[in-house]
Structure 1
């Protein structure tokens, strides 16, 4: 399960801040291993929040625009986690983290939406038995018992 953002994404969004926040305490060199762990933790947190509404298959099939949205939130969450790991968090970093979490929770509760490349329309329940997403409604019912033919015409 790949992370929603990469170290390169963090560098492009925070070119100067990343080196300051993620510098090793002993050497002063940026610690890419701890940055990668922060990105993994952020991705796990995002998946846990969105699991209230989206299946793992839905999250794996997010389209380009939805991935871009999730990437922004992942960057803010990861940057906060990295800053905590290095004991260099600021109020600004914490505020961006809180906003990202709030927006993800809103999406998970239905106040926003992510789109996927999965399609569920136009197929019967038997065809999609394994591909039913969390937000799809499948109705299966027995054959009608009382029909005009069975009751006869009155």
Structure 2
């Protein structure tokens, strides 16, 4: 076996789903194996509250005085987007009827797109953040008139 063949075999093995490979050719034995205990890491959301957040919750916007207005807040620090991509239509607009569980917007954090879903059904009446704006944990994003 030539060194180039061995390199190609290793490259193909690395990118495959095969855990072990053994080749005996022309008096040469090649054994390859992958660590079965490898860990697939999932992103973990770590929220570290600031002193201000611990002492008092974020003040609701003045429009929140209406008891039928549900305020959707950011669950993480990141960048707020109203649409799935720059050239796509927004998930919702003012006047849109939304159902519980419907995607309203995205907050990007560490290159992960986190879909923010409606916790209440109703009508979108206000946006508190601008598209592409950095948002903080607990910051109001969208006002939904419940009903």
Query: Do Structure 1 and Structure 2 share a fold, with TM-score over 0.5?
Result: no
Q: What is the TM-score with the length of structure 2 in the denominator?
A: 0.19
Q: What is the TM-score with the length of structure 1 in the denominator?
A: 0.19
Which structure shows the bigger proportion of residues in strand conformation?
Answer: 2
Structure of higher RCO (CA pairs closer than 8 Å, 6+ residues apart)? 1
Which structure shows the bigger proportion of residues in helix conformation?
Answer: 1
